[in-house]
Amino acid sequence: IETESSAEVLAMLEGLHPTDIAEIMDKLTMDEAKYLYLQLDGEMASDVLLEIPENMRRRFLRVLPPEVIAHQFVEHMDSDDAADIMGELEEEVVEAVLSEIDDKEQAGDIADLLEYDEDTAGGLMAKELVKVNENWSVQTCLKEISSQSEEIDEIYYVYVVDNDNILKGVLSLSKLIQKPTHSKVKELSNEDIQSVRTDTSQEEVAQIMEKYDLVVLPVVDQIGRLKGRITIDDVVDVIREETGKDYQMVSGITGDVESTDNVWRLTRVRIPWLLIGTAGGLTGAQVLSSHQDTLNHIPAMAFFIPLIAATAGNVGVQSSSIVVQTLAAGTRKFDTLGKKLLKELGVGLITGLFFALLIFGYNYLFSDSYKLTLTVSCTLFIVIVFASMFGTLIPLVLHRFKVDPAVATGPFITTMNDVLGLLLYMGVAHFFFNFLG
């Protein structure tokens, strides 16, 4: 790349989508990327800036003076994207950039957006929208839309407000152009409209947009004044993030990583859950050593420790995952706590019986200790029933106490059930060998 002239590079990049350019830059060294980047014009440069990875963007922005950031990038961006980028900068830089922006209205919009919590509707929304007064005629409306839409890339809906900026309804552009020009906006607007408040959580925004198949959702303040709008592409990111979080929890990873991250980061996100697992393993060791006599008496008992522990862990993870996923889907059609536990008891009993009989059959054929066979089968049955009950109950309890139930999946449940399984194993063995023995 270094040897090519800038004209050639530009010719090469022309016609490429900003996302593709960002991908190319990600493969280059920092210097090459910088060189490439400087060839792009304002509009394209700001689009590409939004698509490059966060750490690269930080390094880019750190070396640039506020006036360049303001004129080169921020002025070409929509308010929501600008606010996201500014949120990554330090406070004094933000102030400097805001004061450099020539369009004071845009600067004001960005400053407003920076006030909202990142995880709320206010943090997701953009200020750019087209709105018309309910008392206007179609003709005034079309003229106004033309002038308002100059700065906006795409219009999906036109919002209808009253004199106090209270959201009243929505007009679809396609309906508008089919109507005679003297009709009133009020008569054409659809007043049956979904909206959220600025402090609605992003999870709830995602659920509403998914449930009603919406592409854009207006955001209002406490008294119903139109403040902005959220488009579905930002919500897709929320959904990805949200499901990704649950996936990480169940696999025992803390924090968002990709296999392309560096070794240190990849290690750091894995240690915490492994520590919990280790604590569980050591507790298991304690349980076993305090039942040393039983183990010394029947050494073959040790053979089935992995089976008991693994089954307990697997059953627990399954139960908790089903609960967590149902909670995450946010459906209101939800069984009562009692019914859920009763059903899980049913599942546990059937599964437990199935595996107890399976192992009983296996050991009946291959083991010569009748008591051990009984012990292992009985333990397996009890462990499966308990593990499934715990797996269901714990996420529900956490959810009730407003803790993310997903923390109770994966290694946490596995570890807890491992220890529980060992305790039960030793208890059952004690019963069969000492009392029946």
Residues 172-201 that bind a copy of itself (CB under 8 A): 172-174, 177-178, 192, 194
Nearer to a copy of itself, 70 or 376 (CB): 376
Question: Nearest approach, Cβ of 336 to a copy of itself (angstroms)?
Answer: 11
Single-letter amino acid, residue 64: L
Q: Give the nearest distance from C-beta 399 to a copy of itself in angstroms.
A: 12
CB 421 within 8 A of CB 312: yes
Pairing of strands 131-133, 157-161: parallel
Number of residues that bind a copy of itself (CB under 8 A): 119
Tell me the C-alpha distance between 49 and 14, whole Å.
16
Q: Which residues contact 324 (CB under 8 A, 6 or more apart)?
A: 246, 249, 250, 395, 405, 406, 408, 409
How far is the C-alpha of 206 from the C-alpha of 197, rounded, in Å? Answer: 13
User: What are φ and ψ of residue 129, in 5° steps?
Assistant: -160, 165
- Is 332 one of the binding residues for a copy of itself (CB under 8 A)? yes
Does 233 bind a copy of itself (CB under 8 A)? Our answer is yes
Let me know how long the chain is.
Answer: 437
Residues 90-149 that bind a copy of itself (CB under 8 A): 130, 142, 145-146, 149
Q: Smallest distance from the beta carbon of 211 to a copy of itself, in angstroms?
A: 5
Cα–Cα distance, 408 to 324 (Å, whole number): 9
Q: Which is nearer to a copy of itself, 115 or 397 (CB)?
A: 397
Residue with tokens 């990554």: 88
**Closer to a copy of itself by Cβ: residue 104 or 211:** 211
Contact residue for a copy of itself among 409, 426, 428, 429 (CB under 8 A):
409
164 binds a copy of itself (CB under 8 A): no
Contact characters 286-325, a copy of itself, x per CB under 8 A = --xx--x--xx--xx-xxxxxxxxxx-xxx-xx-xxxx-x
**Does residue number 392 form part of the binding site for a copy of itself (CB under 8 A)?**
yes
Nearer to a copy of itself, 92 or 154 (CB): 154
What are 155's two structure tokens? 């219009």
Q: How many CB atoms sit inside 10 A of residue 107's CB?
A: 20
Q: Least separation, in Å, of the C-beta of 251 and a copy of itself? A: 3
- Residue 101 contacts residue 70 (beta carbons within 8 Å): yes
| Choices 71-79, 110-118, 195-203, 413-421; region in contact with a copy of itself by CB under 8 A | 413-421
CB-facing half-sphere around the CA of 433: CA atoms within 13 A: 20
Q: Does 364 bind a copy of itself (CB under 8 A)?
A: no
How far is it, in rounded angstroms, from Cα 284 to Cα 63? Answer: 53
Decide: is 169 part of the binding site for a copy of itself (CB under 8 A): no
CB 342 → a copy of itself: shortest distance, Å? 9
Residue 271 binding a copy of itself, by CB under 8 A: yes
End-to-end CA distance of the chain: 81
CB nearer a copy of itself, residue 55 or residue 289:
289
Q: For helices 18-27 and 30-38, what crossing angle results, to 10°?
A: 150
34-93 positions binding a copy of itself, by CB under 8 A:
none
